[in-house]
Structure 1
Amino acid sequence: MAAGAPRVFVSHLAGVPVFDPVGDQVGRVSDLVAMLRVGRRPPRLLGLVVEVLSRRRVFVPMTRVTGVASGQVITTGVVNMRRFERRPTERLVLGELLDRRVTLVESGEEVTVLDVAIQQLPARRDWEIDKVFVRKGKGGVLSRRGETLTVEWSAVTGFSLEEHGQGAESLLATFEKLRPADLANALHHLSPKRRAEVAAALDDDRLADVLEELPEDDQIEILGKLKEERAADVLEAMDPDDAADLLSELPEEDQERLLTLMRPDDAADVRRLLAYEERTAGGLMTTEPIVLRPDATVADALARVRQQDLSPALAAQVYVCRPPDETPTGKYLGTVHFQRLLRDPPFTLVGSLVDSDLPPLGPDTPLPAVTSYLAAYNMVAAPVVDESGSLLGAVTVDDVLDHLLPDDWRETEFHEEGAGHGG
């Protein structure tokens, strides 16, 4: 950026693509790294944390940044692909500076930081945080109360202090459009204190989606810092199989206490899953596949498949059963694949389309046999049926992959080999 170029507010940089000199995308901005300085001198911006295509987070020094705008970042030179690890003297701008309560030097009034701006120093390649966008009064970015204003960095104090009640609204607004897996990645790299604050600010459904994407240790840590009633609400919002996997890692007394706080229907599904061995069809399955009666039509089936919260694997087929429609169902009659639904008129009854030749899995089927079944029949999900012929649930290919990969695969994904960052 040339001298005199306009400043950039950091919230506009979250998630923007990063390109190399020839125009190939390197990754996306995950955060910015700054170093606080003594007195009221503006912090020096050291570089960017960039999430590359492998989801590894690497450090790109500002000396290698040739252009910054709200829509893209241009770099020069070779990017060091070692995993980024924050040093004790450094601060993550998005993760740690936003939502802080700081003090206006002139009036002594407490304000909330909503954003900060960066600017390149004239005739140099150094960057600083020079402006702070704040809101007077209490409440974060979602509050309508209080005047907002932009002040010089030197006009506020309190960034270097440890803050125990830091909010998360501005940070969440910055990451609002991230997919759950990407938000989980960002959450994983925050400090435990900040991670707990962000988790507390997420609504139950969003937190449930994010928990399903986090490593096991992070899941347990976050759940343990929630009030028990809130923890039960979040478990209800999770897929039953994911909730069961998480609860299975807790002591039995904690399991039972949380299950007792959950809605009876949700708790019953989870209890049923906890009764099966982990690496069996029963332990892997979800209890919420698409179930239809034989007199439902193709139009009914397509309406169910179109539900936004369904995973692609669960949306790939419907299971036709006698009532009751909730698992465990009445007699399982067969499966109708999504492609078959697209070939037949909307008024066709699904009972006339079932594939009854494909054998279902039993709940005690071991994981290797489940894997072979999906591979042999080119399936992305398979029905699980008990001895009486009732549908218990469905095993999806993503759940199978979770258990085929190493136990720490999520942790490995977030923690690539190597440490530190170079210049």
Structure 2
Amino acid sequence: MSASRVFVARLAGCTVFDPAGDRVGKVRDVLVVYRKSDPPRVVGLIVEIPGKRRVFVSIGRVTSIGSGQIITTGLINVRRFEQRGGEVRVIAEMLGRRVVFADGSGEATIEDVAIENSGQGEWAIEQLFVRRPKTGSSPFGKGPTAFVSWSEVFEKASAGQAQSAEQLIATYSELKPADLANTLLDLPQQRMLEVAEELPDDRLADVLEEMPESEQVQILGQLDDDRAADVLDQMQPDDAADLIAQLSDERGEHLLELMQPEEAEDVRMLLNYAPDTAGGLMTTEPIIVSADATVAEGLALIRRHELAPALGAAICVTLPPYEAPTGRFLGMVHFQRMLRYPPHVRLGTLLDPSLEPVTADASAAEVSRILASYNLVSVPVVDENHRLVGVVTIDDILDFLLPDDWRSRDDEDDVLKRPALSDSTGSIPIANGRRVGNGTS
């Protein structure tokens, strides 16, 4: 059943289906245009389809909104979305804006926007959910909230006043780092920088790891040195090293001095290796245990929520010390093998005898060959004394092998290879232009 009124923040992440029930993608934003007297009119949805591509879906092609899902006619144009002049993204650009009450009772901040179907497929902004400033001296709590119609307020546009990014961050709080990075890259530059600056250190670190180097440098450049160092502390050492390598020698060294000594030591070590070698690609934080550790202990370590899947696929066994660079490397134990043995079995008896480590100066091509030949997701890296210094994971290799602009590539061949999105008649109504059917510019 289609709803007649929907709050936009609840649409973020909703799945979009075609009439046959096949999944098309997920909603990332709602696009509106302002009108002179009437409330802003909804022109369409910004939908993320497979391949992280953002496309435009005309509101005239939406047949149902409700129950956490959206049904379309199947007429989807797969060209990458480009915002036109006069169009406004509700989540990215309206939430967090300041408005003034027409009756002179003060100001408020937009926290959500309700769109309503006025009939015949036309949707428009019907209500705003706003929050007034906090009253009183208590540091706890927030200001009162209210539902207001569009005509009861007008937007405040003071010169030089930055739009609040807090509401956008809250709306996208459940996104994975790669999806949030993609969302930020799709924002206007100034808005992207505002949102990035408001993110917590650990969240910003995760997002930077998923961004192209040029945007990484741009965002880090707007942070003061202490904040930048804190964010680098939260990043994986190999990603932090790659980012610092893009900075000037003076700023890079200054940030290293401000970082936590242990984190800075790992990054300095990685900076000594060429970027196209195992040493330059590896991470220095694999799971490392002694040969006497048990299966139960190993499984407990790979269950950690913050651990990347590629690092949790295998455990490294070494002699002491157990932090890179470790004692002599003994071997690796794959998590699937651990699942086949009782909890008390020692990991030293389960080593994979066929897996040989690579040296830190091994080429990226050699590491790629080993990963592909033996169906691995990580390869251990040792120094000249056979001490473990890190592991190269499959995602590090893919990031190295793919083109520099792989996160934003929009090759025509890539478009043509995408699965066809068909309508209920079984035809393939993929359009060549940006929009199809109902004229809504």
Q: Provide TM-score, normalisation by structure 2.
A: 0.89
Mapped to 2, the partners of 1:187 and 1:421 lie a distance apart of: 24
Counterpart of 1:301 (choices 281, 293, 298) is 298
1:17-416 map, 5 Å = 17-38=15-36, 40-69=37-66, 71-122=68-119, 124-137=120-133, 144-158=141-155, 164-412=161-409
CA offsets 1:21-68 (integer angstroms, 9 cap, x no match) = 222221111101111223x53111111111112221111111112222
Q: 273-282 vs 249-258, which deviates more? A: 249-258
- Corresponding letter in the other structure for 1:254: R
Whether contact under 8 Å (2:80, 2:410) holds in the other structure is no
CA offsets 1:313-352 (integer angstroms, 9 cap, x no match) = 2111111111111100011111122122122222222222
Gaps of 5+ in 1: none
Q: 281-290 vs 194-203, which deviates more? A: 194-203
Mapped to 2, the partners of 1:413 and 1:363 lie a distance apart of: 35
Whether contact under 8 Å (1:112, 1:138) holds in the other structure is no
Shift of residue 401, structure 1, vs aligned partner: 0.8
- Corresponding letter in the other structure for 2:145: T
Mapped to 1, the partners of 2:354 and 2:8 lie a distance apart of: 58
Name the counterpart of 1:8: 6
Decide whether aligned partners of structure 1 residues 262 and 293 sit closer, same or farther in structure 2, where only a CA change above 3 A counts. same
- Give the alignment's Cα RMSD to 1 decimal: 2.3
Decide whether aligned partners of structure 1 residues 419 and 76 sit closer, same or farther in structure 2, where only a CA change above 3 A counts. closer
Q: Would you identify which runs of 4 or more consecutive aligned residues in structure 1 move more than 4 Å?
A: 159-163, 413-423
Decide whether aligned partners of structure 1 residues 218 and 29 sit closer, same or farther in structure 2, where only a CA change above 3 A counts. same
- The alignment partner of 1:182 has SS state of helix
CA offsets 1:81-111 (integer angstroms, 9 cap, x no match) = 2111001211100000001111111125111
Mapped to 2, the partners of 1:143 and 1:34 lie a distance apart of: 35
Q: 62-71 vs 328-337, which deviates more? A: 62-71
Mapped to 2, the partners of 1:70 and 1:172 lie a distance apart of: 24
- Corresponding letter in the other structure for 1:191: P
- The alignment partner of 2:103 has SS state of coil
Aligned length: 417
Whether contact under 8 Å (1:83, 1:419) holds in the other structure is no
Mapped to 2, the partners of 1:190 and 1:164 lie a distance apart of: 18
The percentage of aligned residue pairs carrying the same residue is 51
Q: 208-217 vs 322-331, which deviates more? A: 208-217
Whether contact under 8 Å (1:111, 1:138) holds in the other structure is no
Q: 335-344 vs 266-275, which deviates more? A: 335-344
Gaps of 5+ in 2: 416-431
Shift of residue 356, structure 1, vs aligned partner: 4.4
- The alignment partner of 1:102 has SS state of strand
Mapped to 2, the partners of 1:163 and 1:128 lie a distance apart of: 29
Mapped to 2, the partners of 1:298 and 1:319 lie a distance apart of: 13
Whether contact under 8 Å (1:131, 1:153) holds in the other structure is yes
- Corresponding letter in the other structure for 1:27: G
Shift of residue 162, structure 1, vs aligned partner: 6.7
- Corresponding letter in the other structure for 1:405: L
Shift of residue 173, structure 1, vs aligned partner: 2.0
Mapped to 1, the partners of 2:158 and 2:321 lie a distance apart of: 59
Whether contact under 8 Å (2:295, 2:343) holds in the other structure is yes
Name the counterpart of 2:425: none
